[in-house]
Amino acid sequence: MKRIVFSGLALMFLATKAWAQGAPPAAPSVEIGGLVDVYYDYYSTKPAGDAQYRNFDTKHNAFSLSMAEVWLAKAPTEDSRIGFKFKLNFGPATSNFIHAFEPGGRPYQNIQEAYVSYLAPAGKGLTIDAGVFTTPAGAEVIEAKDNMNYSRGLLFSLAVPYYHSGVRFTYAATDKVSFMAGLTNGWNNIEENNTGKTIMGSVTLKPTAKVTIVENYIFGPEQDDSNDNFRHLSDTIFTFAASPKATFMVNYDYGKEGMGDDPSVHWQGIAAYLKSQGISIVVENTDGPNAQVASISTEIFKALAGYLAPDNPI
């Protein structure tokens, strides 16, 4: 089945504030932030309910709330090694998508991130985060303002998790090479659904000022009350910033997991992004059953086109 959807208008408002706690310039700073994400989409298919293969922006021909966020954050530094981040999310995006499969249910529904950090004095600095944090996988993130296009792609919707609960370690060996390793409960679960643990690792390479390559790998048991049938995900992101006004990016995902009588169910997808002068184009293709959300056994093609404000993409 092939499908093309053109997304309509999206609105986002962002407000942040930072201040120094104390007179010295080196005093730790705390950020308070918030945003409200409202959109209007018009689909040529005119769906009566939620639009198919859409994430967060599912309503046709209606001004709709996607999410509202508030957060409090402090980054750890050499002068103040303890940090934290607490981010709460409200609205259909979190209740219908982000936390739809959370084993702990409603008590965790609004927690997008909640972790404490410590910058250990090891080498150039080893950052340790413990708590709930968003996944490193994928070229797109939950907040539309930080993506090339307002609408999230199929890989974000079907191929990767939203968040993890556990501990992660991040270390920048040089300005061009950094590493991340983590031990978590699994995909999208603050509360554990089995007795196993999921391991994740990441390598980020910046061979030049214009090129960034990220490889993420996540594996572990994800099925309820079972430590068998490990789920594997390889997530590769290549970004080329040709100029301050033109960026090209490719994201490829491959995943596999044993399910039922099939020992190796797999899914894969590729997305290509081009942003120039505020104009963003995304083309992607996915195929294979998706073990996290639903069984989709057909190939899906999706193209998006939109306009993003150059200084503050929404």
The HSE-up count of residue 49 (CA atoms within 13 Å, CB side) is 2
Span 165-177, pLDDT tens digits: 999 999 999 999 9
pLDDT at 44 over 80: yes
Instruction: Provide the token pair at 119.
Output: 């910058």
What pLDDT was estimated at residue 287? Answer: 80
What pLDDT was estimated at residue 305? Answer: 57
What pLDDT was estimated at residue 285? Answer: 82
The HSE-up count of residue 58 (CA atoms within 13 Å, CB side) is 17
Span 13-23, pLDDT tens digits: 344 444 444 55
What pLDDT was estimated at residue 255? Answer: 94
The HSE-up count of residue 302 (CA atoms within 13 Å, CB side) is 27
Domains of the chain and any CATH numbers = 9-307 (2.40.160)
Span 183-222, pLDDT tens digits: 999 999 999 999 999 999 999 999 999 999 999 999 999 9
What pLDDT was estimated at residue 129? Answer: 98
**Is the Cβ–Cβ distance between 11 and 38 less than 8 Å?**
yes
Span 262-293, pLDDT tens digits: 878 889 999 999 988 778 888 888 887 643 43
Tell me which of 294 and 210 has the higher pLDDT.
210
Helix, strand, or coil here: 249?
strand
